[in-house]
Amino acid sequence: MTDPLAPEPTPSVVRRTPVPPSVSQPVATPLWPSVVYRATDADELDRIYEGELPGYSYAREGHPNADVLAAKIDRLEGRRLGGPAGIVSSSGMAAVSAVLLGLLRAGDHVAAGNQLYGRSLRLMTSDLPRMGFATSLFDPTDAASVEAALTPATRLILVEVVSNPTLRVADMEAIVALGAQRGIPVVVDNTFTTPRMYQPLTQGADVVIHSVTKLLGGHADVTLGYTAADDPDLAAAIRTAAVTWGVAPSPFDCWLAERGLHTFEVRYDRAEANAVAVADALAGLDGVRAVLYPGRTDHPDRARAAKLFGSRTGNMVSFVLDGGRPEVNAFLRAAAAIPFAPTLGDVATTISHPASSSHRALTAEAREALGMPEGFIRLSVGIEDADLLIDELTAAVRASQ
């Protein structure tokens, strides 16, 4: 080790300065923005590429902040140590793309849930067909519908555990069993449920995907994704696609998301307790036609939710306001202290209105058929005081009517 007080070893300020030696270690994770890593000689670089020595070469191929973040999400997902590490990507959609690009071959068919996140649904109905992949959609709450969607060419099943925004619960046991029986990888987008509620890989699924942008990052200031597979061949195929197609995450985003993850479990538990209280309060109000929350006894999939999630019920609450667009606008204006913003998973509560955002491309009739009339409102419940939230929402519902 060189003496940090020794004269600067580089003959030019243009050249990089070595990191000062230190026997003490930083407590917080350092940020490593470096795009490249230098090796001592060509043999050492060879051994880094072959995985014989720990190290990095070029940031698109991997960097320490992504690895620190991946290891934390791996742990949350209950993954065994020593398996292939999770892969962090520049967004949740980048993770979906890496999985599709890594696992599909020409001629393959994809079966997917019919209420996926809007952009995932677009991949199924528009982009994959444009590239020559056949796709079919199924009702994930109905095992017969899933089975009917499979063909001899099906190479991938993509499903979300809890649907957006109607919060229906997929028949995960049947879907995972069908995938195993037919040798089709089951890919689960676990964004809404989070590993606090459901851990797909421990329940027999093959690939898990997250939009880290949402509850895991938790502060609405980072756009990132994550995906992982326990099978080394699946994991390697996805990692190669992620590196080649360039969905690499920024070190700063990984650093921020890792910071957010320290409080994920306490944030999640508090938001869920708030959601239970909010769902019950809304259900008692005049002007609220229906409340959709997997924790309530009137939820259509209550028994399945209890079986899959135990006592967990999530932070997402949807409800149907009596009336149409004027009542929705009056509600949103009266609830102005709660941001009307088309996202979820922030520390503070946000409100969204699918008919004017995520599902605006559908006709009113098509939305109605999915159980989403004009008065349908979705809450991503945050960690603020439950009484404050209930007071604000109650006043806004009254103002709307």
Size of the site for ligand PLP (CB under 6 A): 15
CB of 263 to ligand PLP, least distance (A): 20
Which lies closer to ligand PLP via its Cβ, residue 229 or residue 247?
Answer: 247
Tokens at 296, concatenated: 């309530």
Tokens at 379, concatenated: 């809450």
CA distances to 50, 152, 180, 283, 393 from 149, in Å: 41, 10, 15, 36, 41
Q: Is 214 a catalytic residue?
A: yes
Task: Tell me the per-residue interface mask from 162 to 181 with ligand PLP, x by CB under 6 A, - otherwise.
Answer: --x-----------------
Q: Which of 72, 74, 79, 117 is catalytic?
A: 117
Beta-bridge partner residues of 136? 111
Q: Candidates 22-30, 180-188, 206-214, 313-321 — which segment interacts with ligand PLP by CB under 6 A? A: 206-214
Tokens at 97, concatenated: 């793309």
CA distances to 81, 167, 188 from 315, in Å: 29, 11, 19
| Total residue count of the chain as it appears in this document | 401
Q: Is 307 a catalytic residue?
A: no
Q: What is the side-by-side strand order in the sheet with 350-352?
A: 288-292, 316-321, 376-380, 350-352
d(C-alpha 254, C-alpha 251), whole Å: 5
Q: Which of 141, 194, 223, 250 binds ligand PLP (CB under 6 A)?
A: 223
Which lies closer to ligand PLP via its Cβ, residue 223 or residue 313?
Answer: 223
Which lies closer to ligand PLP via its Cβ, residue 161 or residue 335?
Answer: 161
Q: Which of 141, 211, 227, 400 binds ligand PLP (CB under 6 A)?
A: 211
213 binds ligand PLP (CB under 6 A): yes
Q: Candidates 62-70, 207-215, 245-253, 274-282 — which segment interacts with ligand PLP by CB under 6 A? A: 207-215
Nearest-CA neighbor of 316 among 134, 167, 100, 147?
Answer: 167
Give yes or no for a contact between 29 and 68, defined as CB atoms under 8 angstroms apart.
Answer: yes
Nearest-5° Cα angle at 269, 70 to 290: 115
CB of 285 to ligand PLP, least distance (A): 27
Q: Residue 340: helix, strand or coil by DSSP?
A: strand
Give yes or no for a contact between 115 and 164, defined as CB atoms under 8 angstroms apart.
Answer: yes
113 binds ligand PLP (CB under 6 A): no
Which lies closer to ligand PLP via its Cβ, residue 170 or residue 330?
Answer: 170
Q: Which of 191, 194, 318, 349 binds ligand PLP (CB under 6 A)?
A: 191
Which distant-in-sequence residues (6+ apart) come within 8 Å of 307 by Cβ? 173
Q: Which of 74, 139, 189, 253 binds ligand PLP (CB under 6 A)?
A: 189
Which lies closer to ligand PLP via its Cβ, residue 73 or residue 330?
Answer: 73
Q: Which of 168, 214, 299, 353 binds ligand PLP (CB under 6 A)?
A: 214
Q: Which of 168, 214, 304, 367 is catalytic?
A: 214
Which lies closer to ligand PLP via its Cβ, residue 139 or residue 189?
Answer: 189
d(C-alpha 204, C-alpha 186), whole Å: 9
Phi, psi of 174 (to 5 degrees): -70, -40
Which lies closer to ligand PLP via its Cβ, residue 349 or residue 394?
Answer: 349
Site for ligand PLP in 116-135 (CB under 6 A): 117, 120
CA distances to 69, 121, 132, 153 from 106, in Å: 33, 20, 7, 10
Beta-bridge partner residues of 87? 227
Site for ligand PLP in 44-103 (CB under 6 A): 91-93
d(C-alpha 284, C-alpha 276), whole Å: 13
How many other CB atoms sit within 10 Å of the CB of residue 298?
A: 11
Q: Residue 314: helix, strand or coil by DSSP?
A: coil
Q: Is 268 a catalytic residue?
A: no
Beta-bridge partner residues of 89? 225
160 binds ligand PLP (CB under 6 A): yes
227 binds ligand PLP (CB under 6 A): no
Residue nearest to ligand PLP (CB): 92
CB of 125 to ligand PLP, least distance (A): 15
Q: Which of 32, 133, 138, 192 binds ligand PLP (CB under 6 A)?
A: 192
Which residues of the chain form contacts with ligand PLP (CB under 6 A)? 91-93, 117, 120, 160, 164, 189, 191-192, 211, 213-214, 223, 225
Residues annotated catalytic, as ranges = 60, 117, 189, 214
